């Protein structure tokens, strides 16, 4: 009997065909609508493998309903949507899709930095709304990027890729991290410093740390108060790392100049979110990895993890310590 697999969002047919060769596949047949929790509750009881997204909350209550589940393959780098401790307790492997989105997320991060600094969205809206009547010396003036100081909080693979882009703009780069990375300092020409000093000295601050209990609200009122009045905060990591209310107040009170945000604590974000009301905040709908090539790679990697686990072999991107038979 073929293993049963459930996919929580419609993905390209040619990728589904890979699973169909060896598995019985069911799929939530919507691309833009998240699967309702109650439907996932019904489906999870009989399946051997689950391919899900960050939009699905795979909690302890759901995991307890799984009778035969061997693998939860998350099509994302992050995995805070999954109760890994519960999965481990019930002998269920959990995997993610790292590495494939490094460059495209770095592209988006630097693009968001540029759009915020030069007020590109605001300027486009200004033109389209018919407000452009004349030229004036300080009309829609923004911040220079070339030669500015960039502070990166969390120097992982995406952070390193961001450094390479910043060097093309002759930026001075500071970083803070749990551990100092001497080799990267030498190779990339960057400087290690404390989080406090990074916030004090940087013109642009990019949040690149993973979301954990330790990094929740890592950037709050106290940290924002250390930043320059003409500084910009960029977050393309995870919502919840930056306290959104504190950020709103800091920008509203002109304690910092602006922000570029691709991630929110609660997604999709409500239209009455205060950050959406500020003209000097560029907000995006979590599109850090949204290139065709990258999303296809992510889906293929998630499928590879899924099929490897169902063959009772260790997936490459295993996140929890599960015993298995080779």
Active site residues: 238, 267, 286
Q: How far apart are CA 67 and CA 48, in angstroms?
A: 8
- Give DSSP secondary structure letters for 286-324: S-TT-SHHHHHHHHHHHHHHHHHHHTTS--TTB-S----
Strands 4-7 and 49-52 turn out to be parallel
Cis preceding-peptide flag for 268 (omega within 30 of 0): yes
Q: How far apart are CA 98 and CA 137, in angstroms?
A: 46
Burial class (CB in 10 A: 0-12, 13-18, 19+), 314: middle
Q: In degrees to the nearest 10, what's the CA dihedral of 125, 129, 134, 140?
A: -20
- Provide the CB-side half-sphere exposure for 130 (13 A, CA): 0
């Amino acid at each position: 009997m073929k293993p049963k697999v459930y996919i929580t969002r419609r993905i390209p047919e040619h990728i589904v065909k890979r699973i169909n060769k060896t598995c019985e596949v069911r799929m939530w047949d919507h691309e833009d609508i998240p699967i309702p929790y109650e439907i996932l509750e019904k489906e999870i009881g009989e399946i051997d493998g689950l391919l899900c997204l960050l939009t699905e909350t795979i909690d302890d209550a759901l995991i307890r309903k799984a009778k035969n589940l061997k693998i939860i393959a998350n099509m994302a780098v992050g995995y805070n949507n999954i109760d890994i401790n519960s999965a481990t307790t019930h002998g269920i492997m959990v995997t993610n899709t790292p590495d494939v989105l490094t460059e495209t997320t770095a592209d988006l991060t630097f693009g968001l930095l540029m759009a915020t600094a030069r007020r590109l969205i605001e300027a486009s809206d200004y033109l389209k709304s018919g407000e452009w009547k004349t030229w004036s010396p300080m009309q829609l003036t923004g911040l220079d990027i070339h030669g500015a100081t960039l502070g990166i909080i969390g120097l992982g693979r995406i952070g390193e890729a961001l450094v390479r882009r910043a060097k093309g703009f002759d930026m001075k780069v500071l970083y803070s991290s749990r551990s100092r990375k001497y080799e990267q300092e030498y190779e990339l020409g960057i400087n290690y410093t404390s989080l406090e000093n990074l916030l004090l000295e940087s013109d642009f601050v990019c949040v690149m740390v993973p979301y954990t209990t330790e990094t929740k609200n890592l950037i709050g009122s106290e940290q924002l108060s250390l930043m320059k009045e003409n500084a910009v905060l960029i977050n393309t990591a995870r919502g919840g790392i930056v306290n959104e209310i504190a950020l709103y107040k800091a920008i509203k009170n002109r304690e910092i100049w602006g922000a570029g945000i691709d991630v929110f604590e609660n997604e999709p974000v409500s239209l009455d979110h205060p950050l959406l009301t500020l003209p000097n905040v560029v907000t995006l709908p979590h599109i850090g990895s949204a290139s065709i090539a990258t999303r296809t790679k992510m889906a293929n990697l998630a499928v590879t993890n899924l099929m490897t686990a169902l063959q009772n072999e260790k997936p490459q991107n295993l996140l929890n310590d599960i015993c298995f038979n080779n």
